[in-house]
Chains A and B, each alone.
Chain A
Amino acid sequence: MRLSYPTNLRIVKVPCTGRVAAIHLLRAIEKGADGVFIAGCMEGDCHYQEGNLRAKKRVTYIRGLLESIGVDRERVAMYNLSAGMGPRFAEIAQEMTDKIRQLGPLVKSTNAGKEVVA
């Protein structure tokens, strides 16, 4: 499809988004990402029944935790899309990057706009 999406995105592949634990989201931020999003399968379409629903719960938990320590909750997000939705992925990547750019770097000295997607 040759779709383009922001180059500052670093993709971490996991077998299922259910594999993404709360600590993984935090570690990404701790190691310098200014935002993280999980791109999971559509709800109801999880090959392992509810991996994406678990990921969603963890995202909600981490968003709350971040907010409580003074970090904008929008830096962590969950999106659902199927493997056949390439254009949507590019769109989400752009959307998330724009959002994070707007929020600016988490730690002022790091490079702005780093992102991780799982």
Chain B
Amino acid sequence: MIMAKPKKAEEIISRVKDFSRVLVAGCKGCVAICEAGGQKEVEVLASAMRIHFSQIGKRIEIDEVSLSRQCDKEYLQELADSIDSYDAVISLACGAGVQFLTEMYGEKPVFPGVDTCFIGVTEEQGVWSERCQACGNCMLGETGGICPITRCSKRMLNGPCGGSENGKCEISLLVGRDVACGWHLIYERLKKLGELERFRRPSEDKDWTASRDGGPRQIIRKDVRP
């Protein structure tokens, strides 16, 4: 799922301090799972904002809502009747949700309440890690189910660089935590699968136009279109 982390309350407050009615809109999708933008987080942020504004003697009304998703029009539609009564919206959805909300209600200033980070997994409670960069051309079938685009810091396609040491990527020093070398993981995994032969043939040229090199992407599927 898409991982995000909450923005600092003071940053959000500074964006909306000059409005008089603000809606804090959460999303019950990915950002709720990673505890950044679900109903619970909406409640905490909205309450903290009310406390802040009442303490400094400012009258700003802050309402709360949590939509099933903000990346689908039918759920955003739920705001149609009420949105006009607000001067601004803080969306705790991922960047996609924030933008879709903006597109749908063009007149309304919308501010992000989270920093959208990556597509990843919940490793354990409170620990989320990146697993996919949505390159649009999945090669997991050739790499033992471990993504070199994501797990290798340099996105190498044919084995490790010279910086891999004891299974750790050289980036570890820079980021101050142990980062597994993606290609070390792939090697170990392919060894287990008895597929080390894979290393004898180079990967095919990767079509990066399916990734960000092709600009903003779109999928159009005739089979599911009405």
Q: Which residues of A contact B (CB under 8 A)?
A: 21-23, 26-27, 29-30, 65-66, 68-71, 106-108
Contacts and interface: CB of A to CB of B under 8 A. Distances in A.
B206 interface: no
Contacts of B44: 22-23, 26, 65
Interface in B45-85: 47-52, 54-57
9 contacts: A23-B40, A26-B47, A29-B51, A65-B48, A69-B48, A71-B51, A107-B54, A107-B57, A108-B57
Nearest to B8: A68
B56 A23 contact: no
Given A29-B51, A69-B13, A71-B51, 8 more contacts: A23-B43, A30-B54, A68-B8, A69-B9, A69-B10, A69-B48, A69-B51, A71-B52
Interface of B: 8-10, 13, 40, 43-44, 47-52, 54-57
B16 to A, nearest CB: 13
A29 B55 CA distance: 11
Contacts of B49: 69
A43 B52 CA distance: 32
B162 to A, nearest CB: 42
A68 B51 contact: no
B50 A70 contact: no
Given A65-B44, A70-B56, A26 B10 contact: no
B181 to A, nearest CB: 33
Contacts of B54: 30, 107
A30 B55 CA distance: 10
B43 A68 contact: no
Contact of A30 (B9, B10, B50): B50
Contact of B47 (A30, A68, A108): A30
A22 B39 CA distance: 13
A69 to B, nearest CB: 4
Nearest to A105: B55
A106 B55 contact: yes
Contact of A27 (B40, B47, B52, B57): B47
A116 B68 CA distance: 34
